Amino acid sequence: MSIRYWNKEIETMPMEDLRHLRDKKIQHIIKLCYDKVPFYREHMDKSKLKPSDIKNYDDLQKIPMWGKPELRKGQAQKPPYGPFISEGTIIAEVAGSTGTTGKPTYQIWSHEDMDRAVDILARDCVMGGMKPGDVAYQCYPMGFARGYHWGLIACRACEKVGAGFVAAGVGIDINDRIDFIIETKPNCYIGPVRLALTYGKLLQDKGVESPFEKLTVAGDLGPIEVPKMRERFKAVHPKGEVFTLYAGTETSTVSVFECTEHVGHHVWFDSLALELVDPSTGERVSPEERGEAIINNLILEGMPVVRYSMGDILDSYDDNPEVCGCGRTHGRLRGGMAGRTKDIVNVAGVEILPKDVENAVLSIKELSGNYQYVVVTGKEIEALRIKAELIAGVEPSSELEKRISNELEKSLGVPVIVKLAKHGEIPPPLFKMERIIDLEKF
């Protein structure tokens, strides 16, 4: 028995009503932040702001943005959680960020926060085709694992939908995992993008067709939005339909998720007020422009997240889209994540992001898709240096390096220096792929 909606009233609510609901939730969370969270009270007082000054989505721009540096500083000065927790909160869960951008930070949830997060993810799972009786192979760690706290929430969401789950987590030999998948045949996958691709390739190597019909993937959102990567998924998961999401430890809920129409990600107005801004000015960008993600979580009350800069560059966000073919009415993120602000490379005056590189690399048939590139921050460089792995059976040569460099230059529009690696020299990714390397390692 399939389910089309988890909460039809909310998911298909007219846009005017959704905006009114979002504004009410904004007013509530801002008042809670000011009344109960020392950091936000001081943060708003510095700008001479009171909760009554923030009445709607546009008013959020009055509050100064903040981000990971302030979070780290606050938690270092007042360990472990800093001045960010609502007074009187009873902690239900603690998790850490991945540490991708530096020292990991902590996030906490109250019991009520966890219940709301599970309900939102159950809504996502249903939108992604999950139904009672399905069995999900859940690959995120289940404990405090420096960023992947989603394992517990995902299992609870599956249970709420009526689906079963395999709490695969981590720490199991990958060959044992493959044997388990072959024997038990779970039809849903929840986990990192790269791990799903690795599983598919290993199953294919064993001559076994992947059992996954629905794959919910995260952790590396930009690359999966590249058409060539979707093609690679289809090649190793022939029955699989891929659904992507955008989230982070700080977002705390999965409020950005793809539907069966695959024309973007719905942004739930009742749980998230998303903004995209120009990283250099802090001003909101137009619906067609890339911008840095600013998070305003509307349902997290134990450790609220308001006007928080994620450091992620997203392709485009339409806050007033047409009704989707699936019937849902909420905001629409298109194109996914292009990269992080820290990963922007200025090559000969052109800004290059990981997604741009991914698209170009995957278009070359001799390359396996595993690659790394050098980032030099704070200054313009003359050429982009890429270390790319060849497919099995192809050997590096100076002639091939030159040809691939020329092809990448045409795709990216900037000078490129390629160093080819033999197949297997760049370790296959299991979770997030570490694309950025130091010049000394090139």
Per-residue pLDDT for the chain (442 aa), expressed as one digit of tens each?
678 999 999 999 999 999 999 999 999 999 999 999 999 999 999 999 999 999 999 999 999 999 999 999 999 999 999 999 999 999 998 887 765 555 778 889 999 999 999 999 999 999 999 999 999 999 887 655 444 567 888 999 999 999 999 988 666 788 889 999 999 999 999 988 888 988 999 999 999 999 999 999 986 655 566 677 888 899 999 999 999 998 877 777 889 999 999 999 999 999 999 999 999 999 999 999 999 999 999 999 999 999 999 989 999 999 999 999 999 999 999 988 877 777 778 888 888 877 788 888 988 999 988 888 876 666 778 899 999 999 999 999 999 999 999 999 999 999 999 999 999 888 766 555 556 555 555 5
Give the pLDDT confidence score for residue 147 in this predicted structure.
46
Q: What is the pTM of this model?
A: 0.85
**β-strands 367-374, 384-390 pairing:** antiparallel
Q: What end-to-end distance do the CA atoms of the chain give, in Å?
A: 53
Residues 316, 298 contacting (CB under 8 angstroms): no
Residues 251, 310 contacting (CB under 8 angstroms): yes
Give the pLDDT confidence score for residue 268 in this predicted structure.
98
| 6 phi, psi to nearest 5 deg | -90, -40
Give the pLDDT confidence score for residue 146 in this predicted structure.
45
Give the pLDDT confidence score for residue 342 in this predicted structure.
76
Give the pLDDT confidence score for residue 266 in this predicted structure.
97
| 382 phi, psi to nearest 5 deg | -80, -30
* 420: β partners: 388
Residue 238: what residue type? Answer: P
Hey, what domains does the chain have and what are their CATH numbers? 1-340 (3.40.50.12780), 345-441 (3.30.300.30)
Cα angle vertex 164, ends 5, 183, to 5°? 130
Strands (DSSP E) contained in 261-362 are 265-267, 272-277, 291-297, 308-318, 331-340, 345-347, 350-352
